Every structure is written in structure tokens, then in C-alpha cells.
Structure 1
């Protein structure tokens, strides 16, 4: 079920086929059966039941190139190949009988929504039937009174009485008044003998008498048809009288019919949209109305989608600005609503749902269906948006920044990124941890470089990264090109460097000796050197298939180097502590543009605002990959490693310019996290690459320091060494860790190893006594034996220079 594949992995043999499906790596028939069933279900859901470009193997795709095994476009602005352009319709298919009907006539989703609207109206009016019955009764009484009045007026020729009154007021001749009275008497006598009037009167009284008689004998239920007929006639008379008294009132006003769209969470209709937009003050004129461009249809996650056109004097931007007011009018949360421009500035794609679209966490599809990824074209699957559509992050020709508060889902987002990168063998992944490298130990097998809490080594890595960038830039200059593309991945794989918890490096107090100072007295802050290197890399390396992603928590305006941030094209922010942090991660003025990461609900675990290609400023939730009960990424890492091994692209199987540079400078390798995979580099034998020897005691001493500590107690050194190698450094049987015999033995052993490591360097490293380690709770100053970081660092540098 692979979407798009290159011919072969970068650095791999050209005649080896690329595996399309990684499910064969797992001996689980049930899992393979589920994958096949899922694939068939996906195909059935596509239009006309045909496979599209998101399902099936490359050879099954109708537009696939047999030579490449898939659709591969080098750049977004590159035109697709001619084979990808649909051809003209055949004459036999030029007309179908369904074409005679309006569009969407046979759309089942449209009819499903119409059915829902109809049933809602039916239920709404049924629920208000008691009100309608009361208003009908009042209309019937009005009809009785109006009918009795009109009948009496007709029987008694009331119009002559009115003429008599008029004649009296005008003081006409008494003979005229007498004549009118006589004519009234004669007219009334003639009317009472009219056959039609007598028959109508008889029929009305007979119907009433019959209904009363039937009700008396057989009960009210039997008399209900006659009663309903009588009630209908009287209601019609009452409605005529109501209309006479209120000429402008319609049927709805007479029966007090309430619109069904006024109900809470009513199905979306154009009437409801108009009412909502008036309530939100988007529509301010009576003539403002929307025009539906297509029928309203159901969408994902109990959502509803409508596409409509606004009046010419209103643009989509006004709706987006009033998003909170619109959500309030719909009685939903703000992040349950999505408004986008659909073409012109007056065309709108309006989507919302009546339940939290992020309420249920979703496991990454890669967990159940591990498959090779296409990081270059499609990107890395990191999460889903409110419409339940997958969100991909493209890390080509771009620098990236990820930040947010602690425990807000930043690690899970990074977890999705790393496993996705591991499943594309064309990627050289380098991971540097600023704190707690053990959290990333599971990723080590697929990392070309992995280490943690070493500002000096990060500087060396960035220098190697920069050196490789200049080498690639020289190749482009020779070829007269501006940037590398997908076809260059064989020779120049996509280099992605992830620096997690960058703030630990930005705040580091370590100092780096100035190599140009022969006296060794001058030094630089490691944090300043790291920032300068990052800014230099970000200025030009993105076009060279080289990307740096910085992840940090609680950033302020000065945490991320300004030169790096200004060249960052992909940003993601989990919940932050305020507007300053939001702007520090996304961009200056992000909060003013509505990208308020500090307003992400605390209940939305893994929620983030991403500002990336294809999803600018969108709220997403990262997919879930288990990391507490068990390592849910382990199988994915194993699959990625197996895929890389088949293509000779596993760490250590190919020529790695950057890691070789690190070995030449430091004498230690961090391929796949070093020999233990824990992110602790190990020395290599002189003149060899990839042959690891035992870890130098000097490297262990550096590891024993906390990230920002400049000194360490001898007790902490012993504890760290004992944890690293209990057999050598730990207490022996019957020996107490606090006993003098143990401390003396370990002290002699440590001194001997240090002397051996520094042999021939002319440098000494000894334990110092009387070092101050702060104050205890009572305020007394703590003093003891220990070491200074600067002394250990000088010894490490001396040992490295000796190996060179």
C-alpha cells in the first residue's frame, strides 16, 4: 500500500528492487489480513470504486511509470508528465442519462443530509404540536365568532342598519330613513328564504348535532373525524378573519409556527447560515443573503460542510475575523469550526461539527500498516486536522521549528516525525538530545548520528554539517544549478538534523577554547558558537537537501537565534505559556493573525498549531504512538532499519561524510547512538572507521556532569561510574559504598585510568579538595572533593589531539 517510491534508496545498489510493503517483516497473518481488508475497503470508498493515487502498489496505478514505479515530481512548480494528464472522453462516454439531471441529484451524501433536515423539521413541529393545537383552537373560536357575526349581519341585512346610522348622523330627510328601514326589513325577509342559505345553515347545525350525538353514543374518538372537519372549517374562517385584521401577517404568524433552524444544533441549512451570520454581525443589511454553490453535505467526524457565495460587498476574511462570534451563534467551541476561502474572496468552504473533532485520540496509521514513506513528495505523517484529514510535514528545502510548554505533546509530535523519517531510506537522520537522551534511545538504530548533552560535540557536528553544505554547494556551482531535487537523493541524501530541547544548549555555560589563541586563555561561550553556526547553516543550506529542525520548550524571544528563525519555513507550536512564547515559535505577530497557541485547551493533549506547507496556521492533533505502557514505535523502527539494511542505507553501511568528520575531529563515533545505543559516543581506533573500542574514562567523566554544571563531587563520579560498569566500579561483595576501603580502591583505579588516558599528552587531571558545592538547607557552605568541568574538558581535548 505504498503511495510513491523512488527507483532505489540513496546509496543503495541500483539493481535491487525497493520493497513496496513492509508487512512481510512481521510474521503475523492476522495483521496482514487486516491490512489487505483495509486496502480493499479504501478502494471501495474511492470514486466509482476505482483505485486512486493513494492506494495499491505503484504497478497498479493507472498513471504509474513502469520505469520508476510511481508518480514522482521533482518540485511543486514542475508540470506533471504527459501521462498524468487525463485524455479526452471517448464518444461512447460523452453523454450519460444522469447528465440530464442537476448536479448532485444522485449524490447519496446530499440526500442523507436532506433526510436529516426533513426528519429534524418533522420532529421539531411534532414537538410543538400542542402549541399549534392551542393556536388552532383560538383561530377556531375566532372563526365561530366571525361566522356568527357575519351570518347574523347577513340574516338581518346589517348593511341597511349602517346606512340608517349614516343618514341620522348626516340629518337626512326622515322619509329617507324610513324608506331604508322598510327596505332592510324586506331584504332580511327575502334572505331568510334563500334555499342556499337555508341549506348551509341546516348542514352546519346538522354536522354539529351529528358530532355531538356520535360522541355521546360512541365516544369522542368516533366523533373525531367530524370534529376535525368542523375544526378545520372554523379555523379557515378564523384565518380569514385574522388576515382581514392583519393584512401583512402570513400563515406562520397566524399559527405561530417557529422555524426549525432555531433549535439548538439544528441541521445546517441556508436559513440557519443566514441567521448565524446576522447574529455574528457579519450580515448588517436586510438584503444580505448567502447563495449555496452546492448542496450541503455531511462531512467527517459528525461534521457538516457547506460551500456558498457571500454578497459582493463581504469577503471571506470578515467571516474568519468573526469566527468566535459565529461559533457562539452555533453554540459550539471555536476549534470545532473551520472557515476557508474556496476560490474567490467571496466563496466560502464552511465546516463545523457538533462534537469535539479532537476529542478521541487516533493511533498513527503506520502502527498497524507500516509502509515505506515518501518524505520528499508527500511529507511525514504527523497528525490530523479538525476535518479528520491527515496532515503531512514536508522537510525539503526548509528549516523547521517546534516548540511549546512541557507535557503538551511536543514529544509525541517529534515521535511521529522520527518514525516517519526512519521509514524513508533516502534520509540521513541525525538526532541530538539536549536533556534526557535516554528518552530517544529507541530511535538510535536508524540514526546516522545520535548523542545527547554535549555542547562541544554539537559544535563539531554543526561544523561538519556546514562543511558538507559547502561541498554540496560547490557541486551545484559546477553544474550551474540553484538547488538539488529528488533525482539527486542517490548522491546527496536528505540530511535532517533534529536538535531536541535546544534551550539546554542555548543556556549552556560551557566555554570552548579559542583555537587561534596559542596561550589557551581565550575562549567562547558554547551557546554563542552554536547560535552562529545555526544561523550560517539556515542562510543557504536548505536548497542543498539539508534541513535542521529545532525543538525547544518554554522559549522566549531570545532562545531561538534570530537569523535561524527568519529562515524557518515550517513551524509548529503546542500549547504555550503566553503570547510571547507563541510569537517566539511561530512568527512575530502570530497572535494578531489568530495563531494563538497559548489558547489551545489544556484538555487537547497533543494539540498544536502548525504553519507549514499545505496547512498554514491550522490546529491539528498529533497521532498517538504508545510511549508509556510499551514502546509502540519499536516495530516501526525495526521496519525502518530492515528496509535500510536491504538497500545498504542503515547507519554504518554507507560513506557518511558528516559522521566521518566527527570521528576525525573527536576520535569518537556516535553512529546509531554509539556502541550501547544510549547516545554516548565511543572512541574508534586510529585510522579506522566503525571499529569501536572501550569508552575512555575521560569521556565518562564528561558524561557524569549535569548539563549546565561546572563542577562535580567525587561521590557523584563514583555513582556514575558504578552505574556504567558495576563490575569494575561498583562495590564488591561485602563492601559498603560509603566505606573508606571502597572509595580508596575506586580512587586508585580512577587515577590509574586517567594517567593511562593522558599518557604522552603532558596534561594532568587530579581530584581537587575543598571545592565549594553551594549551601545546605541550614545555610552552611558545602565543601568536598571533586573535579571542574574545564579541567576534564582540557584533558579530553589533550587526549583527542594525542590520537590525531
Structure 2
């Protein structure tokens, strides 16, 4: 612990310093020492460190943690639960101590940075190519300067030969009507001066040298051609150009010499970013209103993520970051690029800017979700759900904890793909109870059923019951917090109170529904209420207090208007995602009132940007992103992710049906039907919980149902294909070795023979196991043959469900 007690003055009473280790004061009193340690641990329980460690109360060296690579590289999410620094700007890594000063520290920043030198090389080559491409312009300007120099030289030479300054004095004297004798004297003095100058050795030598060079150049060109005389011509051109430049400066004293050869302002994605270019852009965009205003680079310009380049600079006095942001469109126009090719962020203070500039469309190529190839467990609480990437190529995570969420946009704009990323990510965290309600086309969500604690299609009365169940669960959790004397649930409470996430897809189908239901408070059964109004009331009630209770509702809708989303729910939604909308009204309806005026213009997202969205979430406020792609047309790209999520949940006893689910129990008690994992058929159609007891233990029938789910919820499987899945699910029973077949041979013919033997043995074992499971029942399960392509003989999913005691759809 840190010693914060004042020390007595040296030499005075109490000169003994308080020791670093307080335990030495209580060496003879174990009871006091124990109380001291307990008090020390209790004092740090509510700090960032969380629980105290075994060494609390004694002096120890605490190592400085080094952040992971994703934090240093500019990732948006940090693992510190209480101190989360989220933002698009990269966080510099702390320097590791290397024993003191290094010789590299004597050089400017970026001297040994290969990225900085790569950008400088690009700037040099671009400048070289640009100047070479404009050589004809330079030649014309040099010719004009040479002509000007020739005329100025001839004029000055004549004036010197003739003593023109005396002629000026004579004219002045005549205008002033001076004595004629004075004028005559001036004229005589002029003649004498002119005669003396024409006899000067330097003047004669210079004139002779110039005329000789010209004559020699002409003679060489006449005899050997223009190429041979080019050195003399270049020399003469340089001399005349210098004379012309001096004359130009005399005529235009206020013009800088650099402007004489200035080229037109180059823009476009092929122009490397430099401080000069930035100053020109900011001046052209009217960010800088004074000629002397210029930026000051704080770091060398260097390549950044994907095809971008980043410059960090300090703004001049009287210019702030907000003024730069207000001119984003003008800056993009000055650079001749799209607005979303730029990313301008504050870099520590209002006078410092991180300017990221992409050389091509950062969203030009779709990117497949990393979960497709690596469906690993996700951390929904700390990290969030991976939904897409921003213009810098950095991943964007959506946290659905202690927040209500809203997702909206026009049809076919990528809203469904973002929702697909969300559901897949939620399925890979077993601490989440996912409840999915489809307002339309529940069939497209059928593949998610295995990980859903609740899943059903368009049924307003059941949604009302589900919202009532969540409200009851919220009040139960609130009572728990009241007993604990706490304000909200945290990550440590997830074992007792898992994260309840309800997703209502196509909410507009419920908001615009005209269905009326009987009022349960009316004993006579005469009154009814509108289902849409009741659902809106329940959502507003949940949004008012349930977020702190580990309960989240995400509403997804298309073509919203100001009245689609309940106002109370919208005002309490802290996470909003808008794909392309049809206008400013829809944009404001999804994001927030005044979003369009704040620059969040979802209706301006280019139609060519498939999956583009504006997110207003923790860590990425008002940022444009593109959602990750998970195949949903050619094949079900989410099948392996859902299968991995189901397997993970089963291992931890958190799959639907493996734990006490009070919400589903409430639904069954009220409606008499179960929608766990999509109901008995997994299609989102609730039904009786028939045959649950049979399915509580692992039998060959449950393995067959898992095999059908692993195959992508097909309606039939050939026996040979079914055996392959069973071998993966239960290798001890269904592998080649378990069925008495030798190892897989390498030879093709031997392999075909062995496969046939395995299929015959497996078919017999499968029939025997099915007979054992169904012994004593009136149910049976036999193979069937079908002629619909692909032809084969095997089992139908409907027959397996019926044999397992599950009521047919």
C-alpha cells in the first residue's frame, strides 16, 4: 500500500519513519495483522483492479501492462471492463524500457521508420513524374523569361552605353525650367561619360564574349546540327532566363519567386499526401482564411491501414477541430474524392488532428466475416459482436449490454446481413439467451433455431406474452438487486442472470398490425385491445429500466417513419445502426432527431456501397461502416457458425432445453406451446412440448436429429451420409473401427470396397439401435427410397421426429 502519512521532521520526536511494510508493526499481534489485511482487501474491491490479490497490504513492484496488438493498432474495443477507451484513433503503444538512452533517439522521429521513407519515396517519384509530364510548360515559361531577359539586357546595355541616366536628368531639368547652362553642362557630361564607358575593358570583354558565344553556337549548329550546339544554347538560355527572372521581379515586387514556376493544384487519389497539399486543401476549403495560416506536422506522414495514409498535425491559432469537421465535404471536393474516403479525428486536443486519406474506395471490396473460417467463442460483454469494418479497415464491434438497440433501413440495403452477423456472434457466447422473433419470412431465420432459446414467426399474441415474460424476469432481477443494495447487474452476475437479448426482426409488421386481442382484464370478454399498441407499451416499459438488468431488446425494421418506433423506446436506445434510407425522415427515425443536421446522413449512402451503414454506437459514434459478408444465397454460410455455437452451448449445458428457462416456461404456461429452438419442428412454429422426456437422454434418435441439424436442416439424408455425421458426433459407436472396418485404404478400388462394407455394417447397427430405442412403444422408423434428385435411400426428418415422439409440424 502507498504510504500517505506525513513524516515527522528529521531529528524531532517521532523521527522513526513509517515502514513500507505495515505488517512489521503487528508482528506480535496476529489478530491485528489479520484485521489489517482484511481491511486492505475490502478497500480495493470497488477499484479498477476489482478483487484484491494475495499481496495486498505489502509493498511490491507492479509491472506496467502492455496492451494487446489490437489496441495498439487502432482497434475499437479494449478488454478493461471499467476503463474502456474506444475510438477510431490509434492508441500508441507505451515504449518498453531498454536500459536508457539509445543512439536512435538523437535523430528526428521517423528517421528509421520504413513506412515513412516509403511514403517519401512515393512523394518524390510522383513529383518527378509530374514535373516531367509538364516539361513543355516549363519550356514555354523559360522561353518567355529568356525573351524578357533578352529585351531587358538589350535595354540595360543601351542605357549603359549611352549614359541614359544623364538624359533623364536633362529631361528633369528642362521640366523645371533650370538655367540653360546647367542643361548644356549635363549634356556635355553625358557625352563624356558615354565615351568613357565604351572604352572600358570589362565592358568590351563582356560584349566580345557574348557575341563570340552566340556566333560559335550558330556556327556549330550550322556545321554539326542543333544537338551539338545545345550546351552553349542551354548556357545562353540560363543566362537570359536569370535576367528575365530579375526583370519579372522588378515589375512584380509583391509576387513570390516560387509563384513564377507554380503548377496548377493537383488533386485526385493518385496525389500523395504532403503538408503542402494539406495546406492548399484547407485553404481551398475555406478552413484557413488567412494567408499565413499553416499546419504543423506532429509526426511524419506515413502509410496507414489498407490503401490509406495518415497525417497528424497541429492546427494554427484560431482554428479548431470542429471547424475542420464542418468543412469535410469541401475538403473532399478539394481532394477530388468521396467524403467517405476521408477520416478526420481529433488527436488529443481541439487543435490537433489525425487526418486519414484513402487512395481508393475503402469499401470497394466485400469482406467475409472472420467467424466463417474461425467460429471461435466470442465475448459479447467486453468485446461485443463483430458486425463489420470501418473505412480504415478496423473491425467494428456492437456491444449489447446495458443498452437498447435499433437497426433499420430500406429493403435490400444490407440490414439483414448486419443482423446475420449479430445473430451468429450472439450464438457463440453461451452466456446469452437469444430470443428471435420474426415479423415476416421466418423461414429465412430457420437456420438460427438451434441456438435460440426462443424463436417464432409472425404471432403478435405470442410476442405480447414474450414481452410480459421478459417484464416479469426484469422485475425478478430488480428484486434481487434491491436485496443486494446494487444499481445494476454486471458480468459477474451472468452465471445467475444470463444476458437476455430479444431481437424483433421486421418490427413494422407488428407496428402496423390491425389485429385486436381479447382484453384479459375484462371478465365478460367484450373488450379488446390493439396488439400493436400493447407491444409498443411493453417495449417502452422495458426500455425504461431493463437495460441495467442484463436485458436487451433490439428492434429491426425497414422503411421506418416517425411513428414506427415507439418514442419511449427510441429515446432510451443507446445503439443505433442505419443502412441506406429513403430520406432524412427515415434517417432521423432510426438514428435520432436531428441526425441529418449532425452529418449522419444515411440516405446519402451510395447505392453502390452494398452493406453500408452508419453506426451510432459506443466506440464508433456516427461512423460509416460496411457489414461483413456471410453467404446466404448460394448456400448457408452461417451453418458452421451455428453448429459451433450449438456445440459450445451443449458442452457447457447452455443449449436450449438444457437449463431452466423461466421465460419459456412462462410462455408454455400462458400459451400451452413451446418455441424453444424454434418449436418442435425448428421452423419457428410453436407446438406442444411432446416427447421432451425422450430427448432428455442421448439416444440414436437424438443423434440422428443432431446429424440432420449438422447437415443444414435438410429434410432427408441418405444412410451413407447419415453415417458420416454420426461418426463425427459419436466416433466410439459409429466410426470405421467401431463397426469392425479396417483403416481407410489409399487405393481407390479398395476404398470403394471398404466404404460399401462400412455402409452395410452401419446400416445394420443403425436398425438395431433404432429398434432398441423404440422397444415398448407403438412408433417405428424405417428407411425410405426417393426418386427426387439426388436419388437415394435413407431417412426422412419428419419420420425421425415422429419416432422421437415430437409432434409433427
What TM-score do the two structures reach when normalised by structure 2? 0.72
| 1:465 to 1:198, Cα distance in 2 relative to 1, 3 A | same
The yes-or-no answer on 1:52 pairing with 2:77 is: no
Partner residue in 1 for 2:519: 514
| 1:52 to 1:93, Cα distance in 2 relative to 1, 3 A | same
The yes-or-no answer on 1:197 pairing with 2:203 is: yes
The yes-or-no answer on 1:604 pairing with 2:645 is: no
Describe how 1:687-726 pairs up with structure 2 within 5 A: none
User: For 1:499, what is the secondary structure of its paired residue?
Assistant: strand
Give, in whole Å, the separation in 1 of the partners of 2:112 and 2:605. Answer: 40
Give, in whole Å, the separation in 2 of the partners of 1:158 and 1:611. Answer: 78
The yes-or-no answer on 1:102 pairing with 2:104 is: no
List per-residue Cα deviations over 1:562-585 (Å, max 9, x = no partner).
222222111111122222222221
The yes-or-no answer on 1:111 pairing with 2:117 is: yes
Partner residue in 1 for 2:507: 502
Give, in whole Å, the separation in 1 of the partners of 2:405 and 2:177. Answer: 100
List per-residue Cα deviations over 1:478-530 (Å, max 9, x = no partner).
22221111122222211111111112222223333233333322332222222
Give, in whole Å, the separation in 2 of the partners of 1:607 and 1:415. Answer: 14
List per-residue Cα deviations over 1:595-625 (Å, max 9, x = no partner).
2222222222211111110111111111111
Q: Tell me how many residue pairs correspond in the alignment.
A: 624
Asked whether the 8 Å contact 1:514–1:520 carries over to 2, the reply is yes
Give, in whole Å, the separation in 1 of the partners of 2:397 and 2:683. Answer: 29
Describe how 1:178-327 pairs up with structure 2 within 5 A: 180-253=186-259, 255-258=260-263, 261=266, 266-327=271-332
Distance apart, 1:163 and its partner CA: 4.6
List per-residue Cα deviations over 1:752-783 (Å, max 9, x = no partner).
xxxxxxxxxxxxxxxxxxxxxxxxxxxxxxxx
| 1:72 to 1:305, Cα distance in 2 relative to 1, 3 A | closer
Describe how 1:609-648 pairs up with structure 2 within 5 A: 609-648=614-653
Give, in whole Å, the separation in 2 of the partners of 1:354 and 1:89. Answer: 33
Asked whether the 8 Å contact 1:121–1:260 carries over to 2, the reply is no
Describe how 1:758-777 pairs up with structure 2 within 5 A: none
| 1:156 to 1:425, Cα distance in 2 relative to 1, 3 A | same
Find the partner of 1:376 among 373, 381, 397. Answer: 381
Find the partner of 1:402 among 391, 404, 407. Answer: 407
Distance apart, 1:649 and its partner CA: 1.8
Partner residue in 2 for 1:143: 149
| 1:184 to 1:75, Cα distance in 2 relative to 1, 3 A | closer
Find the partner of 1:594 among 599, 624, 630. Answer: 599
Mean Cα displacement is larger for which, 454-463 or 394-403? 454-463
Distance apart, 1:547 and its partner CA: 0.9
Find the partner of 1:366 among 346, 352, 371. Answer: 371
The yes-or-no answer on 1:678 pairing with 2:694 is: no
| 1:86 to 1:237, Cα distance in 2 relative to 1, 3 A | closer
| 1:238 to 1:506, Cα distance in 2 relative to 1, 3 A | closer
Find the partner of 1:660 among 660, 665, 668. Answer: 665
Distance apart, 1:559 and its partner CA: 1.9
Please, which runs of 5 or more residues in structure 2 have no aligned partner? 1-65, 72-76, 86-91, 698-714, 717-809
Give, in whole Å, the separation in 1 of the partners of 2:109 and 2:683. Answer: 61
Give, in whole Å, the separation in 1 of the partners of 2:440 and 2:180. Answer: 116
Point out which structure has higher relative CO (alpha carbons under 8 A, 6+ apart): 1
Partner residue in 2 for 1:12: none
| 1:626 to 1:685, Cα distance in 2 relative to 1, 3 A | closer
Partner residue in 1 for 2:160: 154
Distance apart, 1:289 and its partner CA: 2.9
User: For 2:229, what is the secondary structure of its paired residue?
Assistant: helix
Please, which runs of 5 or more residues in structure 1 have no aligned partner? 1-49, 56-69, 79-84, 693-723, 726-804
| 1:479 to 1:72, Cα distance in 2 relative to 1, 3 A | farther
Find the partner of 2:82 among 50, 54, 75. Answer: 75
Asked whether the 8 Å contact 1:124–1:260 carries over to 2, the reply is no
Distance apart, 1:196 and its partner CA: 2.5
Give, in whole Å, the separation in 2 of the partners of 1:161 and 1:317. Answer: 64
Describe how 1:459-608 pairs up with structure 2 within 5 A: 459-608=464-613
Distance apart, 1:461 and its partner CA: 1.6
Let me know the Cα RMSD of the aligned residues.
Answer: 3.1
Distance apart, 1:51 and its partner CA: 9.6
Asked whether the 8 Å contact 1:384–1:622 carries over to 2, the reply is yes
User: For 1:548, what is the secondary structure of its paired residue?
Assistant: strand
Give, in whole Å, the separation in 1 of the partners of 2:534 and 2:228. Answer: 97
Find the partner of 1:134 among 122, 135, 140. Answer: 140
| 1:475 to 1:211, Cα distance in 2 relative to 1, 3 A | same
Give, in whole Å, the separation in 2 of the partners of 1:226 and 1:263. Answer: 40
Partner residue in 2 for 1:431: 436
| 1:172 to 1:623, Cα distance in 2 relative to 1, 3 A | same
Partner residue in 1 for 2:728: none
Describe how 1:734-753 pairs up with structure 2 within 5 A: none
User: For 1:669, what is the secondary structure of its paired residue?
Assistant: coil
List per-residue Cα deviations over 1:156-198 (Å, max 9, x = no partner).
4444444555555556666655555555444444433333233
Mean Cα displacement is larger for which, 467-476 or 169-178? 169-178
Distance apart, 1:296 and its partner CA: 2.6
User: For 1:222, what is the secondary structure of its paired residue?
Assistant: coil
Give, in whole Å, the separation in 2 of the partners of 1:513 and 1:655. Answer: 30
Find the partner of 1:415 among 407, 420, 439. Answer: 420
Give, in whole Å, the separation in 2 of the partners of 1:144 and 1:217. Answer: 25
Distance apart, 1:100 and its partner CA: 1.0
| 1:262 to 1:538, Cα distance in 2 relative to 1, 3 A | closer
Give, in whole Å, the separation in 1 of the partners of 2:148 and 2:128. Answer: 28
